[in-house]
Amino acid sequence: MNVLSAANSGSSQMMTITVQDFSGSPFPAAVTRRFVVPFEQLQSTYGRLMRSGAKILEVSNGSASGPTPAGSSTGGSAPTQVQPTTTVKTPRKKAAHADVPVNTYKPKNPFTGKVISNESLLKEGAIGRVNHITMDLSGGDLRYVEGQSIGIIPDGLADNGKPHKIRLYSIASTRHGDNLVGNTVSLCVRQLQYEKDGELINGVCSTYLCDIEPGAPVKITGPVGKEMLLPEDEEANVIMLATGTGIAPMRAYLRRMFDPGERTKNQGYGFRGKAWLFMGVPTTPNLLYEEEFQSYLSAYPEHFRYTKAISREQKNKEGGRMYIQHRVAECADEIFELISMESTHLYMCGLRGMEPGIDEAMTAAAADRGLDWKTLRPQLKKAGRWHVETY
Ligand SMILES: Cc1cc2nc3c(=O)[nH]c(=O)nc-3n(C[C@H](O)[C@H](O)[C@H](O)COP(=O)(O)OP(=O)(O)OC[C@H]3O[C@@H](n4cnc5c(N)ncnc54)[C@H](O)[C@@H]3O)c2cc1C
């Protein structure tokens, strides 16, 4: 762009300077501001904007090249700043994922796998019961990719005398399985327990799975789900927000990205982006897959970041319990900087109760930056970059 050519017009008409945002906005590439000034002030305003660090995109004749908000003046001596346009940069076409298998086995015709192992994921002193269960899929056609779920039909009959209905579980292994042979699937299951009328109730399927012995047959359906699939882009940034067993799909993503065996096995996928895991648990012994994540941190410090919220041990800045949304709020600058990049995807998984807290944190962080999370979130969703699976 050339200011002099604009100045040469020599009249006192209104001029518009369009700049890329310079105010520390988290969307530097996406936010533009327009300043409408009388021709006489063009040079001084231009100089002021340059000194402030703005990138001048265009100087044009007239009051604006886009809509001017109601009430804004184009006259007078002060430059008029036209409302910034805050949009997520050109939405990406949602990847088709057409080749991802779904519903290979339906509830009426489940596949019968066999339990290989069932081990606690918790350390001494943890609250509750969370197990890693691996099943053999040999002899069937059940193929899946990271981010999908499978259905489990527990043994026995429901109170109505009919077979139990299926329960869905996020797959915690990669497509190659934990043994890298491609004939297993693993789950991360928390036993549901609650009190009703003074009686302890055990969840039907989660208890069935946490108690299941190696060698036992297990009825499996699916795979299902395309909401939580990883982008194929090896340079994508992946922000993961997990609470409790919501870690299951993230564990699969991180293995795909960083596990040495996986990296050898993966054809055409060598992750080079940034992966950032936010993990929420009540106590340190409740951290899941901690050793794996620590090994990725050692091997790939430039590509993996791991932020924990341990609610009963850490305090937030108000002195209350540290939940995942407090960590999100603390890291809002960096999160928003990453979101401004088209290649960044966000994944949220865990109990449904985590959603309002995350929304609240994102709303406040967005507002601090002059953005509206209510507008931004659907844009990210439409662009296929905001992935949520809560239950
Ligand atoms: C897409 C998806 C992925 C999932 N992934 C996982 C996963 O990776 N790991 C995992 O552990 N779970 C996961 N789940 C949850 C899982 O499907 C089951 O819902 C969970 O294991 C409980 O099933 P259950 O048979 O043990 O409980 P059920 O016997 O079915 O009992 C559940 C019912 O108990 C009642 N109930 C529950 N809590 C209380 C309470 N506090 N007070 C009173 N009543 C209550 C409610 O009516 C509830 O519907 C996922 C769910 C979905 C939809």
| Closest C-alpha to ligand 1, atom 32 | 203
Q: Are 174 and 186 in contact (CB under 8 A)?
A: no
Atom of ligand 1 lying closest to residue 168 CA: 17
Distance 191 CA to ligand 1 centre (A): 9
What is the CATH T-level fold of the domain 237-390, as seen in this structure? Rossmann fold (3.40.50)
Q: Give the residue from 89, 19, 87, 29 showing the smallest Cα distance to 53.
A: 19
pLDDT digits 0-9 by tens, 208-254:
999 999 999 999 999 999 999 999 999 999 999 999 999 999 999 99
End-to-end Cα, the chain, rounded Å: 52
CA distance 302 to 299: 9
Structure tokens at 174: 């990669």
Atom of ligand 1 lying closest to residue 187 CA: 8
Distance 158 CA to ligand 1 centre (A): 15
Most informative mutation of 150, 155, 169 for ligand 1 (most atoms within 8 A of CB): 169
Task: Check residue 32 and give its pLDDT.
Answer: 63
Distance 192 CA to ligand 1 centre (A): 6
Q: Are 6 and 15 in contact (CB under 8 A)?
A: yes
**Catalytically annotated residues:** 169-170, 349, 389, 391
For the structural domain made of 111-224, what CATH number should be given? Answer: 2.40.30.10
| Closest C-alpha to ligand 1, atom 47 | 203
CA distances from residue 372 to 66, 83, 362, 379, 385 in whole angstroms, order as listed: 21, 14, 9, 11, 17
- Sign, Cα dihedral of 127, 130, 150, 265: positive
CA distances from residue 335 to 4, 272, 278, 375 in whole angstroms, order as listed: 40, 18, 11, 17
Distance 294 CA to ligand 1 centre (A): 29
Distance 203 CA to ligand 1 centre (A): 7
Q: Give the residue from 124, 116, 110 showing the smallest Cα distance to 167.
A: 110
Q: Ligand 1 pocket: which residues have CB below 6 Å? A: 149, 167-170, 188-190, 192, 194, 196, 203-207, 245, 248, 389, 391
Most informative mutation of 167, 195, 207 for ligand 1 (most atoms within 8 A of CB): 167
Distance 228 CA to ligand 1 centre (A): 19
Task: Check residue 77 and give its pLDDT.
Answer: 38
pLDDT digits 0-9 by tens, 66-79:
333 222 333 333 44
Atom of ligand 1 lying closest to residue 189 CA: 11
| Closest C-alpha to ligand 1, atom 9 | 189
Domains 111-224 and 237-390 share a fold: no
| Closest C-alpha to ligand 1, atom 45 | 194
Atom of ligand 1 lying closest to residue 154 CA: 25
CA distance 203 to 189: 11
| Closest C-alpha to ligand 1, atom 27 | 203
Q: Taking the model in full, what pTM does it have?
A: 0.80
Domain limits, the chain: 3-85, 111-224, 237-390
Task: Check residue 370 and give its pLDDT.
Answer: 92
Atom of ligand 1 lying closest to residue 389 CA: 1
Mean pLDDT by 10 residues, the chain (391 residues): 33 67 42 70 69 66 43 36 45 66 97 98 98 98 98 97 97 98 98 96 98 98 98 97 98 98 94 98 98 98 98 97 96 94 97 94 93 95 97 97
| Closest C-alpha to ligand 1, atom 26 | 203
Task: Check residue 16 and give its pLDDT.
Answer: 75
Structure tokens at 332: 């809002």
Task: Check residue 129 and give its pLDDT.
Answer: 98
| Closest C-alpha to ligand 1, atom 4 | 169
